[in-house]
Structure 1
Amino acid sequence: VVGAERNVPLENPPYPEAVARAMAFIAARLEEQPSDPLPLDAIARAAYVSPEHLCRLFKTHTRHTPAETVRLIRLDRAAVLLARTNFSVGEIATLCGFPSQFHFARRFKEAFGQTPSDLRRAIASGLGGVPITRLLQI
Structure 2
Amino acid sequence: MTLADLTLTESRPAQLADYPAGASYGPRRLPDFELVWLVTGSARLTLEPGPARADAYGCTLLPGDLAITRPGDRDHYAWDPRVPSRHAYLHFTVDALGHLPDPMTWPPMRSFSDFPVLESLCDYLLALAGDDGASARQRSSQVLHWLVDLYVTGPLPNDPMAGLPTSVGEALERVREIWTREGLRLIHVGELADDAHVSAAHLHRVFKASLGTGPARCLELVRLWQAATALQRSSATVSDVGALCGYPDRFHFSRRFRHLYAMSPREARFENGALDPAGPLRRAGLLGLAQKLLAPTRPT
Deviation at 1:111, TM superposition (A): 1.2
2:200 to 25, 48, 51: 51
Q: Which runs of 5+ in 2 are unaligned?
A: 1-159, 290-300
Identity %: 29
Higher helix share: 1
More displaced stretch, 113-122 vs 28-37: 28-37
- Look up the equivalent residue of 2:191 and give its one-letter code: A
- Look up the equivalent residue of 2:163 and give its one-letter code: P
Q: Confirm or deny that 1:110 pairs with 2:259.
A: yes
Structure 1 residue aligned with 2:270? 121
Higher strand share: 2
Structure 2 residue aligned with 1:24? 173
Runs of 4+ in structure 1 off by over 4 angstroms are: none
Q: What pairs up with 1:50-129 in 2 under 5 angstroms?
A: 50-123=199-272, 128-129=273-274
Check the 8 A contact 1:73/1:135 in 2, yes or no.
no
Structure 1 residues 40-94: Cα deviation after superposition (integer angstroms, max 9, x where no partner): 2220122232212101111211222221122111101111211221110011111
| CA distance, structure 2, for counterparts of residue 131 and residue 57 of structure 1 | 29
Check the 8 A contact 2:184/2:223 in 1, yes or no.
no
Q: CA RMSD in A?
A: 2.1
Deviation at 1:39, TM superposition (A): 2.2
Deviation at 1:35, TM superposition (A): 5.2
Q: Say if 1:134 and 1:18 are closer, same or farther in 2 by CA, change over 3 A.
A: farther
Check the 8 A contact 1:40/1:51 in 2, yes or no.
yes
Question: SS at the partner of 1:122?
Answer: coil
TM-score, normalising length from structure 2? 0.38
Structure 1 residues 4-36: Cα deviation after superposition (integer angstroms, max 9, x where no partner): xxxxxxxx9821121111112123312322354
Q: Say if 1:113 and 1:27 are closer, same or farther in 2 by CA, change over 3 A.
A: farther
| Structure number with bigger Rg | 2
| CA distance, structure 2, for counterparts of residue 59 and residue 91 of structure 1 | 31
Question: How many residues get paired?
Answer: 123
Question: SS at the partner of 1:135?
Answer: helix
- Look up the equivalent residue of 1:18 and give its one-letter code: S
TM-score, normalising length from structure 1? 0.77
Deviation at 1:130, TM superposition (A): 1.2
Greater RCO structure (CA 8 Å; 6+ sep):
1
| CA distance, structure 1, for counterparts of residue 178 and residue 246 of structure 2 | 12
| CA distance, structure 2, for counterparts of residue 122 and residue 37 of structure 1 | 26
